[in-house]
Structure 1
Amino acid sequence: MDKEQLMGKWLKGELNDSEKEIFSKLDDAQLNGYIIDNAQHFKASHFFKLNDFDTFKRQYKSSKAPVEKLNGFSALLKVASVIVISLGIYFTFFSNSLSHFETLAGEKSAFELPDHSKVELNALSSIEFNTKNWDDNRFLMLDGEAYFMVSKGKTFNVKTKSGTVTVVGTQFNVKQRDNFFEVKCFEGIVKVTSDTITRKLLEGDVYQILNGKFTQSKVLTSAPKWTDNRSEFEAIPIKEVLSELERQYNVQVTFKNIDTNRLFTGGFVHNNLENALIAITQPMNMTYELSSSKLVIIHGKEH
């Protein structure tokens, strides 16, 4: 019996005693047997830990005998075995438990979490969370901006690159962009930690870090304005305002003769680009031009 026939019978579990003895003397037997034996342990389980496959690889490397080279059918079998196991682990444990939501430029999205907490996701933002044991571990990752209406229950944590927001049951908005981190509490109590700065926010409190500088202020509205298709700013550098315009309208903004650190107070709508540009440029004594559907040029006052 040639090697390929022997391999075929081995994969089907049809080897007799004499064939098993022949198979055990093959230089690939140790690897192939180890892969199949360990693959049997990769079953869907509530007690699975993410480092099991790494442990498997370390165990194999520490126990295997040196093999001079991979060739022909045996190399293909080895590669196929590893791919099957890896894909099985991924689709069983990762794709079934991780949920990911994201929005494009000019897009917003609303959805419910497993505990019926509600989330509204602003443009160019994303959220990721694990649905397993959600009621006992209400934790999610946010990149961008989102408004949360949290159902009462165990502690609810929102983790961003800039800081962590911890609540039990409340309504709050988190905005995390480059050099900008802001949390607005609209109901209940919110605990915010960013670097070494920790604050407990009550209804109407605003926690903000802009370019490394911390400030705390108040908000009078009952929900973030962007959920009603309007962005509002108070003493925010114009470059941050125009970055938000880019996200809401999926355009590119360039500047001419502008101090991008000038502070802007005001807002713009999300459903009419020209009205939005007028609302931004007129109070700042600037002008604009639309050179194409995707390019906006903002001009400052000539000196």
Structure 2
Amino acid sequence: MDKDYLIEKWLKNELTDAEKEAFEKLNDYQLHVDVLDHAKHFKASNFSDVDDFNTFKEAYQDTTPIKKIDWFKPMLRMASVLVIGFAIYFSFFYNNLTQIETLVNQKSTIQLPDNSQVTLNADSKLVYNKSNWENKRTLELDGEAYFKVAKGKTFDVVTSNGIVTVVGTEFNVKQRNDYFEVKCFEGIVRVTSDTITRQLLAGDTYRVLNTIFTQDKITYTVPQWTKNVSTFKAVPFSRVILEFERQYGVHVKVNNTDEKRLFSGGFTHNNIENALMSITEPMDLNYKISTPNQVVINGNKK
């Protein structure tokens, strides 16, 4: 029998015994009964008059989709609880982080919870969790830092280009964009960058520059930048300029020269004129301090 026909006669209470039996066998028979039962407890407004099957059917069809999404409400509540939980966790976690930053032309020395010492070079940042240090000895470094690690203590220095694992030693880590360099001054450090892992002893250098890996030796016992001298060995001139800008807080404009040319040498941090002569003379360049914070380097020496 036609379903709509049965529903219409059921609403009018005009079903024959055979029709009633067919109606009760419908898959959604109980749903219709429940709808009508709930409707008995609903007080309609004076502006409504549902007194025929077509009107009832339209109202019923309009309300059915709403019932289908009721299950979503508990899911929304659960999602809200999870979001709030994560927010509380991350708020607690990050509020416990210690972050040290240096500006251009600035250096800073701090002491870690295990009495290890870290000196940050200009324009660098160090982040670690002081409250959880005993359980997770990890520091994140962006820039350059010199570490004096307390004897018998171990921790990892994590950068975007590699990880340095140490045990009671002194070492320097430099991470600037695609420049990653580690120098060991005492003890042993283990360095991993991409697929390249090396164990460095005192005097060893590990460097990855523009994805090219090299190893070298050093003879001095501490990083020269801690003595206000920046040194370089076969480094593109553009890198030298960037470091010069960090140490003096100036902007350098380079004209008529190949900034990929390799430079070996250094400059001091306490006299801008002497520093400029140190980096321009070996490259057959000249310079001009146009404003207190602007330097122009030209490729044609006059």
Q: Taking structure 2 as the reference length, what is the TM-score of the superposition?
A: 0.71
Q: Which residue of 1 aligns with 2:253?
A: 254
CA contact (8 A) 1:254 1:296 kept: yes
Instruction: Supply the AA of the counterpart residue of 2:116.
Output: S
Distance 1:150 1:137 in 2: 16
Q: Which residue of 2 aligns with 1:192?
A: 191
Q: Which residue of 2 aligns with 1:177?
A: 176
Q: Which residue of 2 aligns with 1:3?
A: none
Moved over 2 A (4+): 84-94, 152-155
3-state SS of paired residue (1:183): strand
3-state SS of paired residue (2:225): helix
Compute the displacement of 1:153 (Å).
3.5
For structure 1, list consecutive stretches of 5 or more residues without a partner in the other structure.
Answer: 1-58, 66-77, 79-83
Distance 2:257 2:92 in 1: 53
- Shift in alpha-carbon separation, 1:154–1:137, aligned structure 2, 3 A: farther
Compute the displacement of 1:289 (Å).
0.7
Instruction: Supply the AA of the counterpart residue of 2:94.
Output: F
**For 1:56-67, what aligned pairs fall within 5 Å after superposition?**
62=75, 64=77
Distance 1:190 1:299 in 2: 41
3-state SS of paired residue (2:273): helix
Distance 2:115 2:144 in 1: 19
CA contact (8 A) 2:232 2:266 kept: yes
1:158 counterpart = 2:157: yes
Instruction: Supply the AA of the counterpart residue of 1:147.
Output: Y
CA contact (8 A) 2:114 2:153 kept: no
Q: Which residue of 2 aligns with 1:126?
A: 125
Distance 2:73 2:199 in 1: 50
- Shift in alpha-carbon separation, 1:88–1:161, aligned structure 2, 3 A: closer
Q: Which residue of 1 aligns with 2:31?
A: none
Compute the displacement of 1:127 (Å).
0.2
Q: Which residue of 1 aligns with 2:233?
A: 234
Distance 2:153 2:135 in 1: 7
Q: Which residue of 2 aligns with 1:299?
A: 298
Q: Which residue of 1 aligns with 2:94?
A: 94
Distance 1:125 1:279 in 2: 24
Instruction: Supply the AA of the counterpart residue of 1:64.
Output: R
1:167 counterpart = 2:190: no
3-state SS of paired residue (2:278): helix
Compute the displacement of 1:132 (Å).
2.5
Q: Give the structure with higher Rg (CA).
A: 2
Compute the displacement of 1:155 (Å).
2.8
3-state SS of paired residue (1:169): strand
Compute the displacement of 1:63 (Å).
5.6
Instruction: Supply the AA of the counterpart residue of 1:231.
Output: S
For structure 2, list consecutive stretches of 5 or more residues without a partner in the other structure.
Answer: 1-71
Distance 1:262 1:190 in 2: 31
Residues 95-151 of structure 1 show CA distances to partners (whole Å, capped at 9, x for unaligned) of 2x2100000000000010010100000000000001133123211000000000011
CA contact (8 A) 1:137 1:155 kept: no
3-state SS of paired residue (1:243): helix
Aligned length: 230
**For 1:43-54, what aligned pairs fall within 5 Å after superposition?**
none
3-state SS of paired residue (2:110): strand
